Structure 1
Amino acid sequence: MGDFDGPGDVFLADCPARLAVEVIADKWSVVVLYALSRGSRRHGELVELIGGISKKVLTQTLRRLQDYGLVGRRAYAEVPPRVEYELTELGATLIDPIAILTQWAEHHGDAILAARPE
């Protein structure tokens, strides 16, 4: 298949690479992963940090990222209970690609907005 040969073929419905792309391509996944790139955070801290995300959507996103091994959850036996989320080793491997994507978005965001039909 030329340029697309490699460990996976995202054009195949059952390809693990395609699933990986679907998980990280979710609207909030990249933002949540990037927010955790500077260390563990509590749910409330993430809600405050990430503009526009609801508590419910954040919870769903964190659970999905946990299910796929990208985020870890640590509960502390304290009163009141404290839970923190952090990147796993696998999740941390996404930070460099996310940083590159973020830089691209910062440089080209205005052009994307300008190209939208009115």
Structure 2
Amino acid sequence: MKSFIVKLTGITLAIAIISGLVFSLAFPEYYIQVLPFLLLFFYLTTMGIHAYLLKMAKKDLGKFTRSYMLITTLKLLGYSVLAVVYMVFDKKNALPFVICLMLLYLIYTFFEVIEITRITKSAGKK
């Protein structure tokens, strides 16, 4: 878990720096004030889900697979609800928010899948 947190923190810092540069240099008119909170939300959510999945992978690989599929579905549904709620309250910044949400979802999900795959492969070999 410690290795995961270090990598997750590195990715989050890289995203913060890159997004800061993109929004300050190229697209300042599309910057949304909630972006730092959105980044923190993804960071904490990914860390919590990963910790839970690690516990499940240690117990039973079959149960882990079902849990992973359920969590992925719920996570996608939750992020979709978040996007809709944001669009209702801030129509002006809806498009930049949804684009940022989608990019963060893809980046963090890709990272999570790589890490979980690596862990489950090593757990399956034991």
Same fold (TM over 0.5): no
TM-score by length of 2: 0.28
* Structure with more strand by fraction: 1
TM-score by length of 1: 0.29
* Structure with more helix by fraction: 2
